[in-house]
Structure 1
Amino acid sequence: MSQSKLPSTLKTYSVLPDNRSPLERALELALSEALYSIDHPYPELLDAQKTRKEAIATLGIDRQVPVWDSTDTEQVKRNRSEQAWRNRQLSGTRAGFVKALEQMGFGADVTPWFKKPSELDPYYFQIWVYASDRVLTQEINARIDQLLIEMKSERDSYVMNLARESIASPRIAVAAEIGITMTSQPFVPAGSEANALTHTGIAQHLRIISTSEPARNERL
């Protein structure tokens, strides 16, 4: 950016004292030029979903996101920065635990003590955490523990189970077999032709038989 594009006031106004040197004035103008060459960051700067990638960590620090991990994906960091204040409002609740863990990429199921009074002591809750796309490690376990300690009520205690979740989608296949047998008395050729798919599932069997005495079609 050329100096001519600077606001006219910056060419005449200076924050330096009257005894400034030409070098100091040149540095001041160079810094001003560099600042004015940067695109205006607002209002996207404070929007976790739109801010620049380089600013996400700073935004997370500003909003005091607990248990920040630099190895998380960009989208996980954006989600956690965006929901930081909401998570604090839901601290100590089942919805708060579930939402916070979802933002970290985990599924969760929380059971409070009054749902299982015969198994859990008062103010205890049991939580199952499911990881479907990552290897279970001590670091993951420690991160979840830190998050639960940060969000639970002071009087609450918990039992946590970390499990690897495997999801399979069922598939239904259809196999069709078609055979044609033709006879002409007294000559009866041997053999028939049949084609079938190798999938297991719902099968449809269709066979057409044609004879010359009497001529008829049968569908089985």
Structure 2
Amino acid sequence: MTDAATLLPSNASTLERAVAAADAHISAIPAPVREVWNPYTCPAALLPWLAYAYGVEEWDEAWSDNVKRDVIAQSLQIKRIKATYGAVQRAVVAMGLPARVQEWFQQSPAGQPYTFRLAIESDQIGFDGPQLARVRSVVERYKNTRSHLAGIDITIRSTGGPRPSSVALTGTESRVSDGTPAYADGISALDLLIDGAVNGYSETGQAVEQLRDIVAGMPAKLTIPTDL
């Protein structure tokens, strides 16, 4: 029980005294009214109720918190210019979709009178059916009566790009031989094999032996007379 002052009579019941004791500390409970009514400081769990209080006409729980806050913050300004192309564009932009309204006389070639097109730039994920239906609903809600949506042009923007990279590798270089004779520089002695196939391998081997003996008997440095 609390010692706080009370206006209860002396014959108050136990329940009445318990309620009075609880209410005695009600002023200690924080009541951030200003923060709750601000779309950018309101707790995320209370955003649907704030949207209702602001009269938001299009709402999707699948939106991110940032999109929800932008939609609420823009709602009053959009209502002030409702039934204009600016309201249509701002309403779609508030949903997180970069959009641009193009009236019939701004198109090349010019479109049908009193029509307009909506150009939307999306990321590389693209659009699905429910998103497109929601955009059409927003456009119909904020456009004027005499104007009609002729079409929606969606541009898909890719944020990807080349990514340079490098890889360091270590290993062992190996040589595989099929048994073919080779010279000292590694070139296969195919000319000897062809000669052996034509003239006989025994004769070719003897010629190679003779050539080796001739080369071995040659002097290391050959002097050529200059008076020749």
Where does 1:1-220 land on structure 2 (aligned, <5 Å)? 3=2, 8=4, 11-13=5-7, 21-30=13-22, 33=25, 35-116=26-107, 119-132=110-123, 134-168=125-159
Closer, same or farther in 2 for the Cα pair 1:31/1:63, shift >3 Å?
same
Higher strand share goes to which structure? Answer: 1
CA distance in 2, matches of 1:40, 1:53: 16
Aligned residue for 2:30, secondary structure, equals coil
Which shows bigger deviation, 42-51 or 91-100?
91-100
Aligned AA (1:89)? R
Structure 2: runs of 5 or more not aligned: 165-228
Aligned residue for 2:68, secondary structure, equals helix
Tell me, yes or no, if the aligned pair for 1:105 and 1:131 is still in contact at 8 Å: no
Task: Name the Cα RMSD after superposition.
Answer: 3.1
CA distance in 1, matches of 2:52, 2:61: 12
Tell me, yes or no, if the aligned pair for 2:121 and 2:157 is still in contact at 8 Å: no
Aligned AA (1:104)? M
Closer, same or farther in 2 for the Cα pair 1:76/1:60, shift >3 Å?
same
CA distance in 2, matches of 1:23, 1:131: 61
Which digits, 9 at most, give the CA deviation of each residue in 1:98-149, with x for residues without a partner?
2222221111121112324964333211112222154411110111111111
Closer, same or farther in 2 for the Cα pair 1:169/1:134, shift >3 Å?
closer
Given the two structures, how large is their TM-score scaled by the length of structure 1? 0.62
Closer, same or farther in 2 for the Cα pair 1:32/1:119, shift >3 Å?
farther
CA distance in 1, matches of 2:145, 2:115: 11
Aligned AA (1:27)? V
Tell me, yes or no, if the aligned pair for 2:82 and 2:143 is still in contact at 8 Å: yes
Which digits, 9 at most, give the CA deviation of each residue in 1:25-69, with x for residues without a partner?
413533564x43431213222111112222222111101112101
1:170 deviates by 7.5
CA distance in 1, matches of 2:153, 2:105: 22
Tell me, yes or no, if the aligned pair for 1:129 and 1:160 is still in contact at 8 Å: no
Tell me, yes or no, if the aligned pair for 1:141 and 1:162 is still in contact at 8 Å: no
Tell me, yes or no, if the aligned pair for 2:97 and 2:120 is still in contact at 8 Å: yes
Which digits, 9 at most, give the CA deviation of each residue in 1:128-183, with x for residues without a partner?
22221544111101111111111111222112325252145878x9xxxxxxxxxx
Given the two structures, how large is their TM-score scaled by the length of structure 2? 0.60
Higher helix share goes to which structure? Answer: 2
CA distance in 1, matches of 2:75, 2:151: 22
1:84 deviates by 0.8
Which digits, 9 at most, give the CA deviation of each residue in 1:177-209, with x for residues without a partner?
xxxxxxxxxxxxxxxxxxxxxxxxxxxxxxxxx
Aligned AA (2:92)? L
Q: Give the fraction of aligned pairs with identical amino acids, expressed as a percent.
A: 21
